[in-house]
Amino acid sequence: MKLIHKFKSLNFDKRNIKEISFVIIHYTALPSIENSIEYLCQKSNRVSCHYIIGQNGRIYNLVDEKYRAWHAGQSSWLSEKDLNSASIGIELDYSPNHNNNKFSSSLMNSLILLLMYLTKKYKIDKRNILGHSDIAPYRKKDPGVKFPWKKLYNLNLSYNPKKVKLSSIKKIRLWFEKYRIYSNKNKILIMLNIIGYDISKSTNSKYFYKILINKYRSHYFQNKSYKKSNPELIDFIEAHFCSLLLTKT
């Protein structure tokens, strides 16, 4: 894997003495790799990443891994609030509104090589390879609904909820009944929160709840038609939740 060190961003600081345990995937939303590198290296923009990958597969290292790049912004996952200190940020040269609107095979092949390198080097759990929209669901939508998470699942480079026994799911349903939690929305919010998502804005807002659900779908439940009440989605989140609990134990 060849890295290009020609360009360097000034937008970084020291990590807050934390282990690197996450990889966050972004897209640039700019029309070209040249535009993106220029933007990420401009000090006044106060944003950066460790790596950016072009449509042709070239990987540029803009910030040394030992430093805290400024890519995650205000975000959280489980109990982690400073994801910039705990992660490596990877930008992809992709924009839904310009000519670079496909995740090319060259780009994806380089991303796969980079993820293999990082997960081995830092022993990163595949559950912690996330999109910007996972850690900041109310602000961000990248890497977007077209990002091919399945390619990463198939290479064990991202978490794909496994099938679980019906008996395990029944235990979860009985737990909700025991505590008189009958609303599907409340059940989903509890499960998504334990999975890792920030649910703070969704508890009392239909608008933000819909945003949260769509961000979950864009990662874990892609290519499924949206319905106002979607039992298949609820079943999937239950299986995800149970699979995660079983993995932890």
Determine if the pTM surpasses 0.85: yes
Torsion region of 138: left, alpha or beta (phi above 0 gives left; psi -120 to 50 gives alpha): alpha
91 belongs to the catalytic site? yes
In angstroms, the Cα distances linking 19 to 55, 64, 68, 115, 133 are 30, 15, 11, 17, 22
Instruction: List the catalytic residue out of 38, 91, 232, 238.
Output: 91
Q: Count the Cβ atoms, other than its own, within 10 Å of residue 184.
A: 15
Kindly state the tokens that stand for 220: 């874990």
Q: Does domain 3-154 have CATH number 3.90.25.10?
A: no
- The Cα 95–Cα 28 span in angstroms is 6
Residue 229 confidence (pLDDT)? 52
Kindly state the tokens that stand for 117: 């390198």
Q: Under a CB-based contact definition with an 8 Å cutoff, are residues 66 and 103 in contact?
A: no
- The Cα 98–Cα 72 span in angstroms is 23
- Provide CB contacts within 8 A for 196, sequence distance 6+: 77, 78, 130, 134
Per-residue pLDDT of the chain (249 residues; tens, 9 = 90+): 899 999 999 999 999 988 999 999 999 999 999 999 999 999 999 999 999 999 999 999 999 999 999 999 999 999 999 999 999 999 999 999 999 999 999 999 999 999 999 999 999 999 999 999 999 999 999 999 999 999 999 999 999 887 788 888 888 899 999 999 999 999 999 999 999 999 999 999 999 999 999 999 999 998 766 554 578 888 899 999 998 887 754
Alpha helices by DSSP H, listed for the chain, are 33-41, 83-86, 105-122, 132-135, 149-154, 166-178, 184-195, 206-220, 231-248
Residue 225 confidence (pLDDT)? 63
Residue 73 confidence (pLDDT)? 96
Domain boundaries, the chain: 3-154, 166-248
Residue 248 confidence (pLDDT)? 58
Q: Under a CB-based contact definition with an 8 Å cutoff, are residues 126 and 158 in contact?
A: yes
Residue 169 confidence (pLDDT)? 87
How many CA atoms are closer than 13 Å to the CA of 43, on its beta-carbon side?
A: 2
DSSP characters over 149-183: HHHHHHTTSS--PPP--HHHHHHHHHHHHHTT---
